[in-house]
Chain A
Amino acid sequence: MKIPVIKEIFNANDQVAAENRAIFKQDELFVINLMASPGAGKTSLILSTVSKLPETVRPGVIEGDIASSIDADKIASQNIPVVQINTGGTCHLDAPMIRSALPHLPLNNLDLLFIENVGNLVCPAGFDLGANLAVVVASVSEGHDKPYKYPGIFATADAVILNKSDLIEVFEFDMDFFRRGVEMVNATVPIFPLSCRTGLGLEAWVKWLLEKMRNRDS
């Protein structure tokens, strides 16, 4: 006997993500899910972004890593509230992991929460965490073909950061090719070429982010 089901496999995760979204809304917390391959510069982007924020925007961070607290220690050394999730081998964060991390953060004293996902361009794309924005961090040193190889994650992005843009010439990075690959799966997504090392392009990104925070409910 055949029974039609037609049910999303990520249903259970999506339900918790919706609950997370409600918590974030109630606490007036704006949340970014940062996804990238290892070494693209997620932690650097968090620190660089925070350095450009007005004092009225109080940041916090959830660090997802397979193991270790190297990144969390880096964040904590800048006096930013941070909680570490060690996934113990799992290649992505899911909504229940975020939920369990929330009690460890002073949510009432935060305005902007960065979730640094596990370094991976495949798995995190499927798991909604309840964030306001999905941001993919690509980097020049990874090469310009990433959108063609990992279209799924670029298709889910609300913004694409291209870090290490000060090295475009060194790596003979074809910006036009990269941009076309992103636009192929996500026609209107903004792309921010920047460099966390030199500060190049950071202001345009932060300006866009603050604008998004202001217009979150509209």
Chain B
Amino acid sequence: MHELAVTQGILDVVIDVAKQNGHRRVTLIELVVGELSSIVDDSIQFYFDILSRESLAEGAKLEFRRQPATANCWDCGSQFSVAAPLVSLCPTCGGARLRVSGGQEFYVDSIEIEEIPIEGETENENSSY
């Protein structure tokens, strides 16, 4: 159910931008998703296809760019990418003092819209979607 609210958030952001850019149809949405943000790609696409019906973003394709989280070992200084479930020991030296950063990102990076505005919609910024 988490993904339903999240998908509505994506759609709101995207529709806003599409309206600001002359009511053009959205064809592609690029999302940046951190590895620790607990977002399931397939589930988002599933909800998106339902929620976007009859909107400017209907039929748009979602592309997920996964952003890794990084672990730093305080014992040997090595650095490596991690995802949940996290490892408890450094794979290089076996040290237990690891620090993880990043991987919490979650934003709309860019969208692609059609060159030609939808006919009859360009003048009406307030029309519902």
Which residues from chain A sit less than 8 Å from chain B, CB to CB?
Answer: 1-13, 89-92, 94, 122-123, 125-127, 145, 147-152, 155, 177, 180-181, 183-185, 187
Contacts and interface: CB of A to CB of B under 8 A. Distances in A.
Nearest to B101: A185
Most chain A beta-carbon contacts within 10 A, residue among B21, B84, B115: B84
B84 A149 contact: yes
A9 B107 contact: yes
B76 interface: no
- Of residues B1, B37, B104, B107, which shows the largest number of chain A Cβ atoms within 10 Å of its Cβ? B1
B108 interface: yes
A181 B89 CA distance: 10
Interface string B79-123: 000001111100000001111100110111111111100000000
B113 A1 contact: yes
24 contacts: A1-B112, A1-B115, A3-B17, A3-B110, A3-B112, A4-B110, A5-B17, A5-B109, A5-B111, A7-B107, A9-B10, A9-B13, A9-B106, A9-B108, A90-B4, A91-B1, A126-B2, A126-B6, A148-B86, A152-B84, A155-B100, A183-B99, A184-B98, A184-B100
B88 A94 contact: no
Contacts of B114: 1
Nearest to B28: A2
A76 B99 CA distance: 42
A3 B113 contact: yes
Question: Which one of A91, A92, A122, A185 has the greatest number of beta carbons of chain B within 10 Å?
Answer: A185
Contact of A150 (B4, B13, B84, B87): B84
A184 B38 contact: no
Given A12-B12, A89-B1, A151 B86 contact: yes
Given A1-B112, A184-B71, 18 more contacts: A1-B114, A2-B111, A3-B17, A3-B112, A4-B110, A5-B110, A7-B17, A9-B108, A11-B13, A12-B12, A149-B84, A150-B38, A150-B84, A151-B84, A152-B36, A155-B36, A180-B97, A181-B88
Nearest to B89: A180
A91 B36 CA distance: 18
Contacts of A145: 85
